Amino acid sequence: MKKLSKKEKNLLILLYIIAIISFFIIFIASKIPEIQSALSEIKLLEDNINSVESLKYDEKELIDYFKNLTIAVNEEKNRYFKKEERDFNSLSLEILKLAQKYNLKYSRLSKVDNKSNGYIELVLNGSPLNVLAFFKEIYERPKYINIYYLSLNYLNNNILSVSLKLNYGEVLSN
């Protein structure tokens, strides 16, 4: 074996350096997808952490929210008639007084008062504006009345015929 000259030794060292750099570049290039995947997972985890941190509530704030919600639910429940407050005779009279207040004439009034699902059936006639005012007042009452059937027919001379069935709204207990 022949001894290498200085120039050949330098070239051989340069070849080793180039080979090492090439292997390093190839190694890094092969790991780029893994690095990108890891970086995207880190970003996703950081976003999740920020999302979870934004959901943190103060315990006092949650207790106040629950109290306010309970008050609102109870106020809404109080707008419904209790079973012992339900009386179809007084409801019929109240509805007839309201119809009279808005100059609505009734042509039929019938009452079905059974214990499970009673109702009042009523046919009113009057001007459309008076009918709207009648319904507006029913809507704005402090306690709900359930109108579960409504039929409107336009008669001649600007008269509206309204057929409706109504009863007391119910709160379903849980």
50-83: pLDDT as tens digits:
887 777 777 788 889 999 999 998 888 888 877 7
Residue 127's contacts (CB-CB under 8 Å, 6 or more residues apart) are 103, 158, 159, 160
Please tell me whether residues 140 and 103 are part of one structural domain: yes
Structural domain of 55: 6-76
pLDDT of residue 171: 62
* Sign of the torsion angle spanned by Cα atoms 135, 139, 143, 148: positive
Within a domain: 173 = no
pLDDT of residue 20: 92
Of 50, 76, 102, the one marking the end of a domain is: 76
Please tell me whether residues 34 and 99 are part of one structural domain: no
Confidence check: pLDDT of 133 > 80: yes
pTM for this prediction:
0.56
Confidence check: pLDDT of 148 > 70: yes
Q: What is the pLDDT of residues 94-129, one digit of tens each?
A: 889 999 999 999 888 888 777 667 788 899 999 999
